[in-house]
Structure 1
Amino acid sequence: MDGALRVYRHYGAEAALEYDSVIDGRSTTLFFVALDTDGNAVAGVRAEGPHRHVDEVHAIADWAGRPGEAAFRRMVAEQIVDGVIETKAGWAAREARDRRALASGVARAIVHSIALLGVRYGVGVSPEHALARYESSGARVPWWIPATSYPDDRYRTVPVWWDMRTYRSVASDAQARLIDAELTELTGNGAVPPVPWLYDEGLAQA
């Protein structure tokens, strides 16, 4: 979170982290972090959930009272029966070597979060300028939900969601191959629960 804070603060967007509210760790179910050879954190992302009710999905609050709020709530309500997690605070250190590769790793880690927590869907938000990164790992943008100005008027932010049944049809070929390899390793180690949508993707062992 300190690494995320430095990056978000550089862009004047630290309010999006809600740092003081989440730093105690109680709302974080798991997190991924990339370390450099000196053991310093240089990238990461965290996950909340699985959520049991639409009101637990914090991203919806960013649309409160704005066009698209009802549609966003309806989308999550339809998904929550198969399990939904929320991913937040994705970052890669600005000074890190191979920053582009780290950002791609963060996008893949979102898919792994969904698998590790045994749900079908992941939801988050993305500024439009960062969409390609998340789409590379299979994120979809609900075109029927208008963008909002979050965390402030400098940004056009949209919801993004991953479906473990279909993410590979959206992901880039390079990212899909890496996700497959990494999920196969996680599955072989017993870290990923045997959920039906992984069988559909051919990644879990019977």
Structure 2
Amino acid sequence: MRIIGGRFKGRVLKGPTTSAIRPTSDRLRETLFNILDHSYDDPIREANILDIFAGTGAIACEALSRGARFALLIEENKAAQALISANLNTLGLTDQAQIQRRDARRLGPLTRDAKFGFAFLDPPYGQGLVTPVLESLHKGGWLEPGALVVIEESAETPLILPASYRLVETRTYGETQLLFARYQEGPRDA
């Protein structure tokens, strides 16, 4: 695994030693960031970003390399957290990123001043985690109005977005789909 673009282009990241952590491939990551640059007017630069089910932290590291202001990485797995920490340390990004161990389906209210303009969700495929995480982000007030949310999921898994998200497009790459949605702030029912 390596950083594809930005100030750390070409730098190598530590990868998982177990199949319990499934990182986004270099090729798909490159495709994703090309789409963001060319179709979405570079929503990463100067943004606060969320990397949920962060795994190795490669998405957040790539975003920070390309000019994101801050990255919050949500990851429950202890081995993955250690991997993320090692990758952030290697790139000298510990002052621009924070790792939180928590259940993304139960985030609770946002406890920081700045909301997030971009979120990337890469849950374990086919486990029905996308909808509860999106609902948790909405109920907790985590996202800026109009925030771009990208979801990586198995191409075979149908995704249903809560009412507070508007589907923009879905792109399929082999066995993987990338779904792009915009957050539409609305009432937060308890």
Q: Normalising by structure 2, what TM-score?
A: 0.37
Higher share in helix: 1
Q: Give 1 or 2 for the bigger CA radius of gyration.
A: 1
Q: Normalising by structure 1, what TM-score?
A: 0.35
Higher share in strand: 2
